[in-house]
Amino acid sequence: SSDLFIKINICRCFMEILYKVHNNLYVNLTNRCPYACTFCLRQTMDRIGESDRLWLEREPLAKEGIDEFAKFNMEDYDEVVFCGFGEPTEAFDVLKEVASYVKKTYNKPIRINTNGVGNLINKRDIVPEMEGIIDTVSISLNDPDKKRYNELVRSKFGDESFDAMLSFAKECTKYIPNVVLTTVDTTISHEEEAQCQKICDDIGAKYRIRPWEE
């Protein structure tokens, strides 16, 4: 029976769909990502925030994601964030279904943390499909220089990734109330941060410098 208990707990860890970070509830739907970023936390750890293990045994179905919310007191959380150990738009159709449920049932602000190449991943413009469901899209800008960006993210889509990310961000400003492009504190110079601010100003998005390992 103790072996069974261990197996059950291992399965539960592999399917850790929801986890807490600060006052927010994060949703882990996929481990797939078209990027192999040089700075990715997945290279050195298997958990973030109050999670046990974010590597999934398999990708959850929408119903499995939805059912997990009943285990949490949603009044305790400020925001629901789609961000796990993968690029959330890799599981975009499941994400939409889960996000719609959360919005209707709990009326919580919903954010997606993304690398911004969801249109390339899904081979279509997914941005209009987020209208009315997603309140904030936070896109990793990483670096203002296209060549340096491509070196950092090592995208399977190659050199088109930087332009696709900026195009996605601009498109988001038409449908999403809050569009934020981010870089990580201490990873680029103040001069480069000023260049990032200009990029955001041109797009009509906000710029945020976030702490390392947030």
> What is the per-residue pLDDT across 32-83, written as a single tens digit (0 to 9) for each?
999 988 776 655 554 555 556 677 889 999 999 999 999 999 999 999 999 9
**Distance of alpha carbon 43 from alpha carbon 57, whole angstroms:** 18
pTM score over 0.85: yes
**Distance of alpha carbon 26 from alpha carbon 136, whole angstroms:** 14
**Distance of alpha carbon 209 from alpha carbon 49, whole angstroms:** 19
Alpha helices in the chain (DSSP H): 2-14, 62-68, 92-106, 118-122, 146-153, 160-175, 190-203
Helix axes 160-175, 190-203, angle to 10 degrees: 50
Residues of the chain with pLDDT under 50: 1-2, 4-13, 46, 214
pLDDT averaged over every residue in the chain: 89
pLDDT tens digit sequence for 168-177 = 999 999 999 9
103: number of Cβ within 10 Å? 17
User: In this structure, which amino acid lies at residue 150?
Assistant: N
- 90 and 122 Cβ atoms separated by less than 8 Å: no
Helix axes 160-175, 146-153, angle to 10 degrees: 100
Q: Would you state the structure tokens that stand for residue 157, as one six-digit string?
A: 């889509």
